[in-house]
Amino acid sequence: MKDFPGEFKDAVQCIPFDQRTIYVHSYQAYLFNYFVSLRNELYGMKVVVGDLYVDLGEESFRKEMENGNSVGLRSWIKVVNSESEIHEKKISINQIVLPLCGGDSIYPANELGEKIKEKLVSDGIEFGGGDTADNNTSKGNYRKVIARTDDLKMVAADADVDVDAEVKVGECVFQFSLPSGSFATMMLRELFYRRSGGWE
């Protein structure tokens, strides 16, 4: 930048590729979490017309996500077109997805989708797609708005329970696993946040 002021793209290209990728993925994760919170404010846990949902088995979806196959996954992403479709196909909140924004992403066809586009514009973001994409951009992917755990366990530490030595009597240990890309801190927030407001 010192020798060539204003050549921002060339300056970015000087950053090692792996590091540039981290920046893009971090911003995608930030946007995803922002949009999930926004969706929750607009619609709560309700499935609405315009939502994106995955019409694919849970195991297949997980494998697609782990393989990073956004092209293959994209073919399974559908838009909810009507209230009748929600009931006929029994679409649940567990099937609803939002994009990890990229050049090939599609967005919800409702108010949330408009707000997503407004946010990208306000942040000055334009993802390259197709033939215009370069290695500073991402094609994008999708992630479920609800991550579930099927193995939640809570062990209270008392004199009769053998737990980790670092856990003191009177404390408890939560054990669970989550899908890739999910945050344990968010899981704990949901466990301890009272729906009436405030923390336990």
Residue that wins the pLDDT comparison between 55 and 110: 110
How many residues in total does the chain contain?
200
Residue that wins the pLDDT comparison between 109 and 20: 109
pLDDT for residue 196 is more than 70: no
* CATH code for the domain defined by 8-144: 3.30.2350.20
In this prediction, residues 19-35 reach a mean pLDDT of 86
User: How many angstroms separate the CA atoms of 22 and 81, rounded?
Assistant: 35
Over 83-146, what HEC string results?
Answer: HHHHHHCCCCHHHEEEEECCCCCCCCCCHHHHHHHHHHHHCCCCCCCHHHCCCCCCCCEEEECC
In this prediction, residues 157-166 reach a mean pLDDT of 56
Q: Which of 131, 144, 133 is nearest to 100 (CA)?
A: 144
**Minimum mean pLDDT range among 34-38, 102-106, 134-138:** 134-138
For the chain, the structural domain boundaries read: 8-144, 153-192
pLDDT for residue 84 is more than 90: yes
